[in-house]
Amino acid sequence: MARYGTVAIVGVGLIGGSIGLALRRRGLAEHVVGIGRRQSSLDKALAFETVDSVSLDLAEGVKGAEITVICTPVARIAQDVLTTAANCPTDALITDAGSIKGQIVDELAAATAQPECKGVKRLEKNEVHFIGSHPLAGGEKTGPQAAREDLFDGRVTIVTPTEANRSTETKRVSLFWQDLGSRVVCMSPEEHDAAVATVSHVPHVAASALAASTPKASLDLIGTGWLGTTRIAGGDVELWRQILTGNRQQVLSALAEYEAALAEFRTAIANENDEQLVELLQAGKDRRDAVGS
Amino acid sequence: MARYGTVAIVGVGLIGGSIGLALRRRGLAEHVVGIGRRQSSLDKALAFETVDSVSLDLAEGVKGAEITVICTPVARIAQDVLTTAANCPTDALITDAGSIKGQIVDELAAATAQPECKGVKRLEKNEVHFIGSHPLAGGEKTGPQAAREDLFDGRVTIVTPTEANRSTETKRVSLFWQDLGSRVVCMSPEEHDAAVATVSHVPHVAASALAASTPKASLDLIGTGWLGTTRIAGGDVELWRQILTGNRQQVLSALAEYEAALAEFRTAIANENDEQLVELLQAGKDRRDAVGS
């Protein structure tokens, strides 16, 4: 008997598709339904066998789902959570795979001002449960065709309960990601957003600014160093706009730290302070060497 | 008959060893002599068959060399050029593989104040010739054991003649690197230093500052993005100290451009200026996408 009944996946791209593949190939779910807004994406999801059935209608698609995973762009997640909460079975679990977490919590909190919203009511009454997640997995390729059963194997998934969540539901969400192969780390949405600002969002800004500030005339001379340092600058612009604006305060704070570190380098070089320059280079090397290749 | 008689390689690590391997395996030189300061390095060079013979004495080792390639750390190159110039045969060619070029030219110019120096005199009289080179090849591995015959295949080598050089010698140096498999680009030492500041030296500072400013507590959450962006921060500290201080003015100028690009990102994010943020992300993506993976 499968561990889960019906699991709904909203957004059947790389992440959603990989969740579906992992669930289906490992026999973890009785049924996986893929929900999307374009028939062409759903057709691909079926063709790559990442889901068992598909639906263009979110409210309809989540009706029987004991777990729904929202894998849509961050700017849409809160809205999709509310629609799911209004239509999924009692005691169902809702989670997501968004790269930022505080904004979603804030948007859901703001929605409580609309008491007519059925999803808000059910979440408040603990009839259904939402706990945010962020699997640190992905890659340069996107879309259902890039989905992989082992995408989450050995990768960290951050689960971000709030004070509104009970530990039983936090445990259920954590077990779900563990079943997919992840190592789970729990922290608050705020802690999550501060941490990913430093390890993901500021690196993206650093790479993008570096690529943009390299004169065209110099591109003939680039080597593996420049290519590696700027690789992530090739990421999707709209995705990154949503992340950087959605996590504005934490990004600005981490960016200030980075700019201060660069200023220290500049000062050491300008003042011909070799001792300090060696210290700075060594600090960067030590931090980098600590984590392997 | 081999194209070159005796070629001397001063410094038998990754670059010097790879030059030796390429010369020997392709039958380009009658004899390759490796010169170093430590017997242990020379023993390795012989063991890996990167050279035919070895010498601990630079003056002695270059005596019969029609071409000498100085592959020592940048801070030592000018001095090694002068010793070579004083002892190599008339009409011999001297080049190097250093990552910065203006400093070497400046140090050689400063040495003309010592008219008793035989190397200076011979260079001034055009009895022997020095033209700087910078092969854009290498990797994370170092030492004679990492040497590869094909290290320069398809890679750019920058040759940096000054007004003191004649075109015949510039051509000889260029042909030498082409024989090793390189594509040769000629520019002045100043143009070279400005270009590599943007594509190599500032990326190193960017990666090092990024690694150092990542809080230790966040390291558990790093992914492939952070790993790629910071990879070069693991480079040799003393090597990079020499490069950053030796190319001080150009590095400071390119670093200022980078800091200005980061400040634009910061302003766009802080001012919630989504339009500008999209433009900046797109500019970084366009520059990065233009060069492939």
Q: Domain check: are B94 and B81 in the same one?
A: yes
For residue A207, the domain's CATH number is 1.10.3660.10
Nearest CA to CA, how far is A105 from chain B (Å)?
Answer: 20
End-to-end CA distance of chain B: 41
DSSP state of A231: G
Task: Name the A residues in 193-212 with CB < 8 Å from any B CB.
Answer: 195-196, 198-200, 202-212
Helices A202-213/A237-246 angle, 10° precision: 130
Interface contact flag, B203 A220, Cβ < 8 Å: no
Residues B273-286: tens digit of each pLDDT? 999 999 999 999 99
CATH number, domain at A158? 3.40.50.720
B159 by DSSP, 3-state: which?
A: strand
| Per-residue model confidence as pLDDT tens for chain A (293 residues) | 889 999 999 999 999 999 999 999 999 999 999 999 999 999 999 999 999 999 999 999 999 999 999 999 999 999 999 999 999 999 999 999 999 999 999 999 999 877 778 999 999 999 999 999 999 987 667 788 889 999 999 999 999 999 999 999 999 999 999 999 999 999 999 999 999 999 999 999 999 999 999 999 898 898 889 999 999 999 999 999 999 999 999 999 999 999 999 999 999 999 999 999 999 999 999 999 999 87
Whether residue B212 sits in one domain with residue B157: no
For B129, the token pair is 């010739």
Alpha carbon dihedral A244, A250, A255, A258, in 10-degree steps, equals: -140
Write down how long chain A is. Answer: 293
The pLDDT assigned to A140 comes to 65
AA letter at B161: P
Task: Give the count of domains, chain A.
Answer: 2
According to DSSP, the β-strands at B132-135 and B156-160 are antiparallel
pLDDT of residue A64: 97
CB pair distance less than 8 Å for A262 and B259:
yes
Question: Are A45 and A82 within one domain?
Answer: yes
Asked if the Cβ–Cβ distance from B213 to A204 is below 8 Å, we say no
A212–B280 C-beta distance less than 8 A: yes
Distance of CA B174 to the CA centre of its chain: 15
pTM of this prediction?
0.88
| A17 lies in the same domain as A162 | yes
Residue range B231-269, pLDDT digits in tens = 999 999 999 999 999 999 999 999 999 999 999 999 999
The amino acid at B152: F
Nearest Cα neighbor of A229 from A258, A247, A209 is: A209
Asked if B134 and B37 sit in the same domain, the reply is: yes
Last residue of a domain, one of B157, B187, B217: B187
- B147 and B199 in a single domain? The answer is no
Query: Is residue B143 very low, low, confident or very high in pLDDT (cuts 50, 70, 90)?
Result: confident
Residue B169 tokens, joined = 């010698």
Looking at chain B from residue 235 to 264, which residues have their Cβ under 8 Å from any Cβ of chain A?
235, 237-238, 240-241, 244-245, 248, 251-252, 254-264
Q: How many angstroms separate the CA atoms of B196 and A257, rounded?
A: 26
Give the pairing type, strands A29-35 and A4-10. parallel
Domain boundary among B132, B162, B187: B187
Name residues whose C-beta falls within 8 Å of residue A244's C-beta, 6 or more positions apart in sequence. Answer: A201, A204, A205, A251, B269, B277
pLDDT band at B140 (very low <50, low <70, confident <90, very high): low
**If you count residue pairs, one on A and one on B, with CB atoms under 8 Å apart, how many are there?**
285
Residues A163 and A207 in one domain: no
The Cα–Cα gap between A244 and B277 comes to 9
pLDDT in tens, B211-233: 999 999 898 898 889 999 999 99
Q: Six-digit token pair at B255?
A: 């670093």
Report the pLDDT averaged over residues B156-160.
Answer: 96
The domain in which residue B44 lies consists of: 4-187
Residue B211 distance to chain A (closest CA, Å): 5
